[in-house]
Structure formats: C-alpha cells, structure tokens
C-alpha cells in the first residue's frame, strides 16, 4: 500500500516530504497498527546524534556565502586557472572544489556560483544558459568532497562510518572536477571562449591571493587532521565548521556583522528545516517498508539477478540514475540506502565503497533533467531559459557518469585513502 500511495502522490505533483508522510499515514490508517506510530516514527527518526551535523554544516555554508569566504576562493581560483582556455568556466569548477570543503551541499554551491560567478561569466561573453548549466553541474562536487551532507545522511540510515565516507569521497570528488574541467576545455575550444586573465599571474600575486584565501582553505585540512587524530567526530566537526566560518566571516573578512547575522541564521534555518522535515517523513515511511519486509524482498530480487557483484552494481547504478531524474537525492537515500546497502554487502561489496558510489550517483540526479533540483535552483537565480539549460548540461552529466562507473569498478579509488588515513 505504501509504495502505491507514494507513486500516486508523486504523479499528482505533491511535495516529496508530504508524499512520504501521507503515504505512511494512509498505511497505518488502513492497517491494524495504531496510527499514533506515525508520530512516534517521525520523532524517532530525528533522535540521532550524527544528524546534528546537518544543521551545523548548513550554517557553515550560509556563513561561507555571506561571509566573504566564497569571494576570496573565487579570486584565488581565477589566478590559478584563469589563463586556461575557458578561464572563467575553469574557475567555476575549481571554485566548487574549494567550496566543497565548507558547504557540503550541491544546492548551496550552485546558488553561490549563480549569484557570484554567472553575472561575471555573462559579462565576459559566456551565454547565460551555459554559465547556469555549468554552475549547476559543478555543484555535484560539493557533496562528495568532505564534508558532504549526503554522506552524513547515508551514514546515518545505512549505519556506516561517516568519517570513512568523508575521506572516501575525496578522490571521487577530485575526479569529478577533472572530468568537468576536461569537458569545459572541449566546449571552450569549440565556441572560442577565451581566458579570464590578460596576463600571466606572478608568484607574488598567487601567494597574496592564497594568503587571503587561506582561512577558507583550512576547513578541509581541519577535517582530515581532526578525523585522523580522533580529536572530534564528524558531528562535532560540523559544530566546529559552523563556528569557524562565522568567526572567519566576522573577524577576518569582516563581512558578517551584527546587522546581517540574522540573514545568515535565517538562510541556515530554512535550509535545515527542509532537510529535517524530509528525514522525519522518510523515517515514518521507512517503518512501513520494514513492517512489509520490502528491504528484504528487494534485496532478494537484486541478489536473484546475478551472484556477480559487478552485475548487481550496474543494475543498481542504472536504477538510481533513472530514479534520480525524478526524485531528489535525500528522499532516495532515506528510502533506498538500507535496502540497497544490504543487497550490496551481501555480495561482498565494501559498505564504504557502496556508500560513496550511491551518494555520487544520487548527486548526479540533482543535475539531471527533468527534475534536476540544482538546475531549478540556479535557473531561479539567473533567470536562464530552463529548456536550453537542460540541453547545455547534458555533456557535464555524461562526464560525471563516466566518473561514477570508474569508481564503481575500481573500488580502490574510494577505499585507498580512508584505509590509509583512518585504517
């Protein structure tokens, strides 16, 4: 009954969080189980210490956007790659690599690029549609390079180490950046997009910009060192990241003041509320799936496809890519992570490897038509034509899918670094 209600409500265009909640409620109203269980499951779903990391990282991303950290990273990235063909487009990619260590969210990263970079790119001859598509596409890097909110949610619902997921995402995140930069180079060469710098920056210029951006660049370093030394947990890291970005924005870059701190907090509260509501609603529906033994059934079906783990991983990847086109990543993670992780681990797939693959896959869904929530976010800011933006983003989606299958079939791309650093 639950899955049928979900399908019907999604078809009718209801908001996903309400879809999950209403589906659970309908199930309990039509079953012998007391309907009060829905409220209990919704509340229980949020009673998790690791989940506290989500609002902290959201606050860090908000402080980064309004605290001047994003602007300093942009200037530094421009000096590093601005001389390459398609210079500003390359800056867009590199900027997302550096911001990924703070925002943790594809939507947050895409929104910052849409506000800061797209107007600059348009003034330098890039089309608004291409600039918007690229800004959405580079958002796929942020949830993969630690600390990614998607990793936190996956670790929570699949019960695997968030710290290992964080470190396991570093190499895939860098591979995504390389793939996107190669794609940018090809497109820039065909369209004649030039450089964003009219001179070769001197070492002193780069060092000066690097010093200005250093406080922002230190966040990922704090993450790796802190996790490696066991100084704090990923949840505690979220609190440290929030405090750090607020202090840097207020006292180093002096962009966060008493006058605008309310805006920083408001942005963080609104974004956190959306994620938390979806997690709570998903917990209610997850209890329905457990009662109906849907995880065991689906895992059995996947195991019945083949006893070869590579075949099953291909099937899962294709399934998630298709679902990710129409359903957002958070919802799919909440519902499917426990089910698919059970099936994959049953075939001998490492749970950290599978977790990173799944998060990368679902993140790609956020930039894939027809839903593409990151695309809608960026286009809402830039006012670019949506249909043309969908068309422009397809080469970037293809590049990301290539990386997805690379990390799927070469597990060491995910596992080597966490095994080396965390054991």
Q: Torsion angle of alpha carbons 248, 253, 258, 259, nearest 10°?
A: -140
Closest CA to 375 of 396, 360, 357, 356: 396
The domain spans of the chain are: 2-421
**Which pLDDT does position 350 carry in this prediction?**
92
**Which pLDDT does position 353 carry in this prediction?**
95
Q: Based on the number of CB atoms within 10 Å of its own CB, is 229 exposed (0-12), middle (13-18) or buried (19 or more)?
A: exposed
Per-residue pLDDT of the chain (423 residues; tens, 9 = 90+): 445 555 666 566 666 667 777 777 777 777 776 767 667 777 776 766 666 766 777 787 778 777 777 677 767 776 776 666 677 788 888 878 876 656 667 776 777 777 777 887 888 788 899 999 998 999 889 889 877 778 888 888 888 888 889 889 999 999 999 999 999 989 988 887 766 666 777 888 888 888 888 887 777 677 667 766 667 776 677 788 788 888 888 888 888 888 888 888 888 787 777 667 766 776 676 677 667 766 566 666 766 777 788 888 998 898 888 777 766 677 778 778 888 888 888 888 899 999 999 999 999 988 887 667 788 778 877 888 888 888 999 999 999 999 999 999 999 999 998 888 776
**What length does the chain have?**
423
C-alpha 70/C-alpha 62 separation (Å) is 10
* Backbone CA torsion sign across 139, 143, 145, 146: positive
Q: Where are the alpha helices (DSSP H) in 82-202?
A: 87-103, 106-123, 128-138, 149-158, 162-168, 170-191
**Which pLDDT does position 200 carry in this prediction?**
77
Q: How many CA atoms lie within 13 A of 56 on its CB side?
A: 19
**Which pLDDT does position 198 carry in this prediction?**
67
């Amino acid at each position: 009954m639950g899955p049928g209600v979900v399908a019907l409500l999604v078809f009718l265009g209801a908001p996903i969080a309400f879809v999950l909640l209403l589906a659970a409620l309908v199930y309990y109203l039509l079953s012998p189980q007391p309907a009060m269980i829905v409220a209990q499951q919704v509340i229980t779903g949020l009673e998790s210490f690791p989940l506290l990391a989500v609002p902290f990282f959201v606050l860090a991303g908000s402080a980064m956007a309004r605290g001047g950290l994003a602007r300093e990273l942009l200037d530094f990235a421009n000096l590093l790659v601005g001389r390459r063909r398609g210079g500003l487009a390359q800056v867009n990619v590199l900027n997302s690599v550096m911001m990924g260590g703070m925002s943790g969210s594809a939507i947050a990263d895409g929104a910052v690029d849409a506000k800061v970079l797209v107007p600059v790119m348009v003034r330098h001859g890039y089309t608004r549609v291409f600039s918007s598509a690229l800004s959405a596409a580079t958002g796929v890097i942020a949830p993969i390079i630690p600390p990614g909110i998607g990793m936190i949610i996956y670790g929570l619902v699949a019960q695997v180490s968030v710290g290992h997921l964080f470190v396991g995402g570093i190499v895939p995140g860098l591979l995504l950046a390389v793939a996107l930069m190669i794609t940018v180079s090809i497109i820039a060469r065909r369209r004649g997009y030039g450089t964003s710098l009219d001179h070769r920056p001197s070492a002193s210029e780069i060092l000066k910009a690097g010093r200005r951006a250093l406080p922002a660049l230190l966040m990922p370093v704090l993450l790796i060192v802190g996790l490696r030394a066991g100084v704090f947990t990923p949840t505690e890291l979220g609190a440290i990241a929030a405090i750090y970005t607020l202090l840097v924005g207020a006292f180093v870059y002096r962009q966060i003041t008493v006058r605008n701190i309310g805006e920083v907090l408001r942005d963080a509260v609104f974004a956190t509320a959306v994620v938390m509501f979806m997690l709570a609603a998903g917990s209610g529906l997850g209890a329905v799936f457990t009662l109906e033994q849907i995880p065991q059934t689906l895992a059995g079906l996947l195991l019945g496809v083949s006893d070869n783990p590579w075949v099953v991983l291909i099937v899962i990847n294709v399934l998630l890519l298709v679902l990710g086109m129409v359903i957002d990543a958070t919802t799919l993670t909440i519902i499917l992570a426990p089910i698919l992780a059970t099936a994959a681990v049953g075939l001998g797939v490492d749970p950290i490897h599978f977790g990173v693959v799944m998060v990368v896959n679902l993140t790609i869904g956020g930039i894939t038509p027809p839903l593409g929530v990151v695309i809608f976010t960026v286009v809402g800011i830039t006012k670019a034509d949506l249909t043309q933006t969908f068309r422009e983003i397809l080469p970037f989606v293809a590049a990301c899918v290539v990386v997805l299958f690379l990390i799927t079939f070469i597990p060491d791309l995910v596992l080597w670094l966490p095994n080396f650093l965390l054991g």
